[in-house]
Structure 1
C-alpha cells in the first residue's frame, strides 16, 4: 500500500500565492548568482572605446553558467516535493493520483510552466491545489504532514532532472534562433 502524504485540509490560495512569490524571489536570486559573472564581464566591455558596433549579449561566454541557474529554478521542488517556499508554508508537491511525493521529473515538468507565471497565478487563485503545470504533470500541492514517513530524497533522479532541465535551457536559444530565421 503506497504512503499517502495528503492531509485532509485544503490548501489556501493566500498561502499558495505566498509560497509561489517566495519561491520566485529566492530562485530568481539563485539564478542571478549564476548570471552575474557574465553580465559583469559584458558591462565592463561597454566602457571599451571602439568604433565597431557591438551586439548586446548579456551572458556572453558565461551563458552556460547562467543557464544552470535557470535550470535549478525549474527543479526547485525536486527534493521531496518541497522548495524553500513550500518549506516555509508547510506544503509539498505530490502525485495527484497516489498522494505520494512527486518525482523530480514531475516537478520539472510542472515548473516549465513558470514561464507563463501570470497565468499560473490565475490558476492558483481559482484552484489553490493545482496550477496549469500541476495539471500537465499530474501533481498537486498539498499540506505537508510531518507525521508521515517521508522517502529519502532520490539524488540520482534529482541530478538527472537538473541535467534534463539544463539541456532544455540549452535548446531554448537554438529554438528561438530557428523560429526567427526566414
Structure 2
C-alpha cells in the first residue's frame, strides 16, 4: 500500500519542473502583454504622451499580474502544469491541495524569477523559494495527458503568441496616422499610378516601424501597392513635429 501511494504521488522530476517553469513564465508573460496592448487599442502608436499610455496600461497590467500569481489556484494546477502532467500539493500531505492564499504567496516569489530558476535548478529537494515558504511540493499528476495532446497544446500556445503579435503589430501600423499619410501621398503620385495601371488596393501587412516620443515622430514604412497591371513595393520615410501632422520626406519605389 505504501509503495502504491509513493508511485501515485511521487515528486516531479527537476527537468519537467524547469520546462514547466519556463513555459509557464512565457505563457503568463504573453497573457500580461496581450491584455496590456489590447487595453491600448491599435491606435496607441499615435499617442504622444507616454504617461497617458502608462496610465491606460497600469490597471490591465495589475490584472495580468494577479492572474499570474493566481495561476495555480484551480486544484493546484496551472494550464501549463496540466499539460506537463504535474501539480502543486501540500509538502506533508500529498493528497491535500494548498489553499488559494498559499498558492498565491508561492507564486509571488516569481517576481525574482531568475533567482527562483537558479534555486530550482540546484536545490536537492527540487524546490524553489516559493515552495519552501508556502510548504508545497510539485508532484507528478497520475491523470496526466498522453504525449500527443500535450505537444499539440504547447504548440497551440506558441502559435497563438506569434499570431497575436503579428496581427496586432500590423493592425496598429495600418491604423496609425503615419500610414494614412503615406497612403495619401502614394495616391497623389501620378508616376506610381501610371506604373501599376491604377491602384486597386494595398498589401495586408506593411513593414517597417512607427515611433513617436514627446510629440516627435519618425516612420519608415514599406507598402505594397496592388494595381491593375502590376504590384509595386513603395518605401516611405515620414517625420512629425509636436502638435503637427506627419510629413512625407522621402518616397522610393
The TM-score normalised by the length of structure 2 is 0.49
Q: What are the superposed Cα offsets for residues 131-179 of structure 1, whole Å, 9 maximum, x if unpaired?
A: 10011111111111239xxxxxxxxxxxxxxxxxxxxxxxxxxxxxxxx
What are the residue-to-residue correspondences of 1:105-144 with 2, within 5 Å?
Answer: 105-127=101-123, 129-144=126-141
- In the alignment, structure 1 residue 10 sits paired with structure 2 residue 19: no
Q: CA RMSD in A?
A: 2.5
Matched residue count: 137
SS of match in other structure, 1:59:
helix
In terms of fraction of residues, the more helix-rich structure is 1
The TM-score normalised by the length of structure 1 is 0.66
Where does structure 2 lack aligned partners over 5 or more consecutive residues?
145-253
Partner of 2:175: none
In terms of fraction of residues, the more strand-rich structure is 2
Match of 1:65 among 60, 65, 87: 60
- Which whole-Å CA distance do the structure 1 matches of 2:121 and 2:26 have between them? 19
- Which whole-Å CA distance do the structure 2 matches of 1:57 and 1:16 have between them? 40
Q: 1:86 to 1:5 in 2, by over 3 A?
A: farther
Q: What are the superposed Cα offsets for residues 102-157 of structure 1, whole Å, 9 maximum, x if unpaired?
A: 2211110000000010111111112363210011111111111239xxxxxxxxxx
Where does structure 1 lack aligned partners over 5 or more consecutive residues?
47-53, 148-182
Match of 1:45 among 19, 24, 47: 47
Compare 92-101 and 113-122 and name the one that shifted more: 92-101
Stretches of 4+ aligned residues off by more than 3 angstroms: 4-10, 37-43, 54-58
Q: 1:7 to 1:63 in 2, by over 3 A?
A: same
Relative contact order, CA 8 A, sep 6+: which one is greater?
1
SS of match in other structure, 2:143:
coil
